[in-house]
Amino acid sequence: MIEAGHERACWPGRPAAEGRKPLRRELETPPPVSTPLDDSVLFNDTEARPDQPIINVDALREHFSREGRLTTAQVHRIVDAATQILTAEPNVLHIPAPITICGDIHGQYYDLVKLLDVGGHPSETRYLFLGDYVDRGYFSVECVLYLFALKIAYPQNVFLLRGNHECRHLTDYFTFKLECITKYDEMLYDLLMLAFDALPLAAVVNKQFFCVHGGLSPSIQTPADVDKIDRFREPPSSGPMCDLLWSDPSEDYDESVSTDSYDHFQHNSTRGCSYFYTFAATCAFLERNKLLSVIRAHEAQDSGYRMYRKNPTTGFPSLITLFSAPNYLDVYNNKAAILKYDTNVMNIRQFSFSPHPYWLPNFMDVFSWSLPFVAEKISDMLGSVLSVVTEDELKQELAQGPVSLTPGQSPGLPSIVLPSEAGDTAGGETTTEEALVSDKDREARREAIRSKIMAVARMSRVFSVIREQHESIVQLKGLYGTGQLPQGLLAQGKAGIDAALQDFKSAQQADKPNEAMPPRRDDLEITSAVTAMRLGRRGSTGACSSTDNLLLAAQLQQQQQLGAAGSADSPDSAGADAPPSIATAVISLDSEMSEPADQ
């Protein structure tokens, strides 16, 4: 683990003497833990120690911090227990204050540990996480297992909502499924998908704040509408469940002036699904349900948080975005933030990233990563072998003149007798031929060697360029977490690749294509069928029938989407919570350097 490492100055072969400059520095980092935790350490005997939680979360935290792993039976036990607890919870949680609300984690385990240090131990602090615990980072398994362990140990203090990445579609497209298979097995992945299906969708905090991962939906008029959703499934690509996980505030949220209800929700072109909701839509939702603000995650923020335009009725920000993954993807250079709320005081706490162990992109092994480097070095070796005959040696050889192999011309050299092409002469004597190197032959030899040397040199340079570009591209693919680069990036050349991730804005812009919902397999089949029909490449009658069925399914899906959008104008649902008294909260901002008293 990097945090535990320290530098040790030394001379080669003996300790460093006081006052003398060391020749080199060695960084001591302990290797990952090779043995799993014993059951007696990980799980507490609640009968013998009823005051202790069922799982030792502190031991698990330290074990994961040292890159340790658990046994298959242990991870299955944790996931099964957490799934049972989550299944018993409603779609909408009702949580009192005080509470600490956290945004996206995205597999950054060491930053999750820092978050809990900043926010307080879960045994004494109530937490609400807004989803997106996995993908993009390389410690997603550790994040999920640790959060599930906290949920098991402190079920009334730790609450977990579902994010858009807690699904099969995105975890297969990004890195989480590969991580599960690399570190454990696919059975763990399947169990975690069932656990994700059980995650609640939203929460109402202190009867004042509507908390959700993405945002609002035209089909959701009250929090009670969320309870009507069947959440125990894969999130669909449209509808209220999709909107809660995928929607975003409109780009002109702080400047929009339209009050027309028709403009409250617009198609979300960035995500490729769901909607953009406007300031007017948020204010209407808050006023309808007598709430103070909407708190959500789902978008990276340079400062770790963003407070949007104030509601004119209450004077409080109508929308707050939290993002709790500092230095997102190791390139955003952003801060993270959490929100501590207690007795009408809202305290925003920021913190920076923590060092973490390094993984090769997409969990690549060192042999695949090093192949371009090995090819470059082999070409260098081949070039060195062919370069043994130097230019000076060639000139010296040419200056010596033709080499004669005539018998007797050079003392000590044997005679070479070759059979005559015409056979023996009449006298029975054999003829000898002189092997002379002509000027043309010498020049051809010289050019051949020169061509080989130049070819190997060019090949070496090509391998060098390929290796450098390969490392940059694989690194970028790993940072994006998809194994793919944004469209058009390679066309920009080396300069474009090097400048792709310079600061938060450029990193966010480069990563924008990966924020959209990946295409689903059935969508790809429909698109392929439509393209085939347009090109007139119809096959057999059976193929045409299958294509027609796909098109019919696409039309039905579009009609369902239109019907869901039209339900936004439906009257308010009954059964809303009693209107709470709304008090204006006091907002304070503290960085990680200042340690204010816990509220």
Q: CA-CA distance, 455 to 448, in Å (whole number)?
A: 10
Q: CA-CA distance, 206 to 271, in Å (whole number)?
A: 31
Instruction: Find, among 360, 363, 299, 330, the residue nearest to 110 by Cα.
Output: 330
The secondary structure element, H or E, covering residue 15 is: strand 14-15
Respond yes or no: is residue 165 known to be catalytic.
yes
Tokens of 471: 């490392």
Q: Which residues pair with 210 in a beta bridge?
A: 204, 294
Question: Is the previous residue joined to 407 through a cis bond, with omega within 30 degrees of 0?
Answer: no
* Strand order, beta sheet including 265-267: 248-249, 275-277, 265-267
Q: How far is CA 95 from CA 100, 114, 120, 421, 427, in A?
A: 11, 24, 18, 106, 120
Instruction: Find, among 476, 504, 134, the residue nearest to 328 by Cα.
Output: 504
Catalytic residue among 63, 76, 94, 165: 165
Burial call 10-48: b when 16+ CB within 10 Å, e when fewer: eeeeeeeeeeeeeeeeeeeeeeebeebbeeeebbbeeee
Contacts of 249 (CB under 8 A, 6+ apart): 215, 276, 277, 278, 279, 282, 308, 319, 321
DSSP 8-class letter at 317: B
Phi-psi region at 575: left, alpha or beta (left = phi > 0; alpha = psi -120 to 50): left
Q: Is 344 in contact with 584 (CB distance < 8 Å)?
A: yes
Q: CA-CA distance, 195 to 281, in Å (whole number)?
A: 32
Q: CA-CA distance, 134 to 142, in Å (whole number)?
A: 9
- What DSSP assignment string belongs to 252-282? TTTT-----GGGSEEE-TTTTSSEEE-HHHH
Number of H helices, E strands in the chain: 18, 18
Tokens of 479: 């940072």
Give the distance from CA 74 to its chain's centroid: 26
Tokens of 201: 């969708």
CB neighbours (10 Å) of residue 434? 13
Work out the end-to-end distance of the chain between its first and last CA atoms, rounded to an integer number of angstroms. Answer: 33
Report which residue type is found at 157.
N
Burial call 53-74: b when 16+ CB within 10 Å, e when fewer: bebbbebbbebbbebbbbeeeb
Annotated catalytic sites, by residue?
165
